[in-house]
Chain A
């Protein structure tokens, strides 16, 4: 089993910034493991702008922000193993990975988890109906359009008014789709005001606050959704129901930190947020296993992911060389 100083799992914004932080605190031997063949993680599908205003003092798109970090990591000479999937880690800081044609076993002085988060799905919010095709988590639809070039349907309704849902409303309009409505159960949107303005109002897409989708109709393919008004305790208000015809439903109802590796290694996970329990900054309940970025807590801005993950990387480097008490 090969011994390494620092192993980082994930080459999204958190993993890349953590690697630079570790390097700057003196780590000599850093390896980043990434399952994709590109660096930058989910930033690559976030083709809209608005990234980097704090970190780079200019407005960048997601891929541009990713490219800057990928370039910095490459010029720092940090080793990357791409197309490599971390299957298991242990509390002895062993890492088991699969890569094409090979099973890799490593042991690290410190591990940094930078595995990001995943989307909450339709199944996590109660909606009646069958399971027709045409229902997508918003981030998956984003990947379909921006990475694969597939158009998910013709007429869409978006459930939830988080930023990903808002951004996708505009994106689908740009690709020639109709966006019939955004349905938000809360009395206020969780999304940024500027996204409501430039993604919905610019295209006269109605935003229904204090409303919920009660049923998705259609057996093979989505045919329509039923929507109704809700009161302060989210109970349906009688006689307010109406239908919206559509063939596509995007679900944008939040993100959950991805912590299966840590959980299987015996690390403590907060059941409410799915974040790791950290008693020391960025350090999980297993000594020497660190966590940063969206798998630590879900962030609104990538700029803060970079800032915090850089710090986490530095702490992991100090731990690895025995400076962190």
Chain B
């Protein structure tokens, strides 16, 4: 029996997992289906969304960004290093894709968190 705190939302359910051969076979104590999805992923191949900032030449010096989907946890710092190379010199809108396929990963893009007009 394994305990796992769900990070899918602020409720932070303390789930109880049954794991066999590296696979989750049952999840208890989760209040919603996000918990079982998260539990399976966390045990088999943990992932995290990255939120950080990238430098700009605009009126707001740092643009908050996030990855469009979670990245493999063991590659977190590779992604951060890649993101830190990006510089923004044109106005952006919240939701704009400012980089695609980070480190060649299909479906992992970088999304602007706010609008910077000038």
Question: Interface on A for B, CB 8 Å cutoff?
Answer: 38, 44, 47-50, 53, 59, 61-64, 66-67, 145-149, 174, 192-194, 196-198, 202, 300-301
Q: Chain B residues with Cβ under 8 A from A61's Cβ?
A: 51, 64, 66, 113
Size of interface on B: residues with Cβ below 8 Å to A: 27
Q: Is the pair B66, A49 in contact by a Cβ cutoff of 8 Å?
A: yes
Contact pick for A146, options B7, B55, B64, B94, CB 8 Å: B64
A87 to chain B, nearest CB (A): 26
A243 to chain B, nearest CB (A): 29
Q: Is the pair A202, B48 in contact by a Cβ cutoff of 8 Å?
A: yes
Q: Is the pair B113, A147 in contact by a Cβ cutoff of 8 Å?
A: no
Question: B6-34: contact bitstring with A at CB < 8 Å (1 yes, 0 no)?
Answer: 11111010100000000000000000000
Q: Is the pair B10, A50 in contact by a Cβ cutoff of 8 Å?
A: yes
B10 to chain A, nearest CB (A): 5
Q: Is the pair A53, B9 in contact by a Cβ cutoff of 8 Å?
A: yes
Q: A63-B114, A149-B62 given. 14 additional CB < 8 A pairs?
A: A44-B114, A47-B52, A49-B49, A50-B10, A61-B51, A61-B66, A66-B114, A67-B94, A67-B115, A148-B61, A193-B12, A194-B6, A194-B12, A202-B48
3 tightest Cβ-Cβ pairs between the two chains A and B: A193-B12, A47-B64, A63-B113
Q: Complex: how many Å from CA A148 to CA B10?
A: 28
Q: Complex: how many Å from CA A50 to CA B60?
A: 23
Question: Is B97 located at the chain interface by the 8 A CB criterion?
Answer: no
Count chain B CB atoms within 10 A of each CB in A145, A174, A196, A301 and give the residue with the most: A174
Count chain B CB atoms within 10 A of each CB in A49, A67, A148 and give the residue with the most: A67
Q: Chain B residues with Cβ under 8 A from A145's Cβ?
A: 53
Q: Chain A residues with Cβ under 8 A from B9's Cβ?
A: 50, 53, 59, 194
Q: Chain B residues with Cβ under 8 A from A147's Cβ?
A: 61-62
Chain A, interface SS category: helix
Q: Is the pair B48, A198 in contact by a Cβ cutoff of 8 Å?
A: yes
Q: Complex: how many Å from CA A3 to CA B75?
A: 58
Q: Is the pair B10, A194 in contact by a Cβ cutoff of 8 Å?
A: yes
Contact pick for A196, options B5, B49, B55, B80, CB 8 Å: B5
Q: Chain B residues with Cβ under 8 A from A196's Cβ?
A: 5
**Residue contacts A-B, CB under 8 angstroms, 28 given:** A49-B49, A49-B66, A53-B10, A61-B51, A61-B66, A61-B113, A62-B64, A63-B113, A63-B114, A64-B66, A64-B114, A66-B114, A67-B94, A67-B113, A67-B114, A146-B62, A147-B61, A147-B62, A148-B61, A148-B62, A149-B53, A149-B55, A193-B12, A194-B7, A194-B8, A196-B5, A198-B7, A202-B73
Question: B30-68: contact bitstring with A at CB < 8 Å (1 yes, 0 no)?
Answer: 000000000000000000111111010000111010100
Q: Is the pair B94, A63 in contact by a Cβ cutoff of 8 Å?
A: yes
Q: Complex: how many Å from CA A49 to CA B48?
A: 11
Name which residue of chain A comes closest to B52, CB basis.
Answer: A174
Contact pick for A193, options B5, B50, B55, CB 8 Å: B5
Q: Is the pair A192, B12 in contact by a Cβ cutoff of 8 Å?
A: yes
A59 to chain B, nearest CB (A): 7
Q: Complex: how many Å from CA A16 to CA B55?
A: 28
